[in-house]
Structure 1
């Protein structure tokens, strides 16, 4: 799923890749301030306390991150910020894998809400 934001890809990338901004737009992942523990980020989420690990900052607009759930499972989340004629396109790949349909539908709604919140911030 994706959304187009009327701001430069560089500005959107800078905002998204800053873990301190997660609670401002990614309520499906972080519902409070993010706590740093080395390279790991601890966040309170609707699923409980999760650990988040971002790829290193880069010039490609890649903001992939792994989320380690309270049960120890790791979910890889591909996230990209791409240049778009109207500013930037943020693309989040949500994969169902072995997730039941109802959980996938819930996650889809949460990601859609997060992307809408992000767009509204710009």
Structure 2
């Protein structure tokens, strides 16, 4: 299994980005690689329509460390743990997502990396927007 780290520096304080990204209702606005429609809660899980079909997502509890790790239960039953961090950076913060090649061809892995890059661009646009 290969891993690839995707990062994006955002000129916004880490706590602001973390607060926005950790609000599950905001997922469809920036995380299209995960949630393409409204998020439904089922206990501690989130149920979302994703490019992979309907998946269940469970985030770690809110914390002061900027950790947004989450498990995604795929339609196949495989659970993928996705490390996601928001860390302080001299220019604001850096968001780091680890993409793992689980049940993916090389082409699908490359596609997922591009999707995460696009997701982080959307996250940056959302938190940088003055109308937010």
Shorter-chain TM-score: which interval?
A: over 0.9
Q: TM-score, normalised by structure 2?
A: 0.89
Q: Distance in 2 between the 1:19 and 1:92 partners?
A: 17
For 1:31, the equivalent position in structure 2 comes to 36
Q: How does 1:2-17 map to 2 (within 5 A)?
A: 2-17=7-22
Tell me by how many angstroms 1:96 deviates.
2.0
Residue number among 88, 95, 105 corresponding to 1:90 in the alignment = 95
Q: Do structure 1's residue 79 and structure 2's residue 79 form an aligned pair?
A: no
Q: TM-score, normalised by structure 1?
A: 0.96
Return 5+ residue gaps in structure 2 as ranges.
Answer: 1-5
For 2:24, the equivalent position in structure 1 comes to 19
Q: Distance in 2 between the 1:26 and 1:95 partners?
A: 17
Tell me by how many angstroms 1:95 deviates.
2.0
Give the root-mean-square deviation of aligned CA atoms.
1.0
Return 5+ residue gaps in structure 1 as ranges.
Answer: none
What does the per-residue CA deviation read over 1:89-109, in whole Å, with 9 as the maximum and x for residues that have no partner? 000011225532011011011
Q: Distance in 2 between the 1:74 and 1:95 partners?
A: 12
> How many pairs were matched up?
122
Query: Are the structure 2 counterparts of residues 12 and 33 from structure 1 closer, same or farther at C-alpha, using a change threshold of 3 Å?
Result: same
Query: Are the structure 2 counterparts of residues 33 and 98 from structure 1 closer, same or farther at C-alpha, using a change threshold of 3 Å?
Result: closer
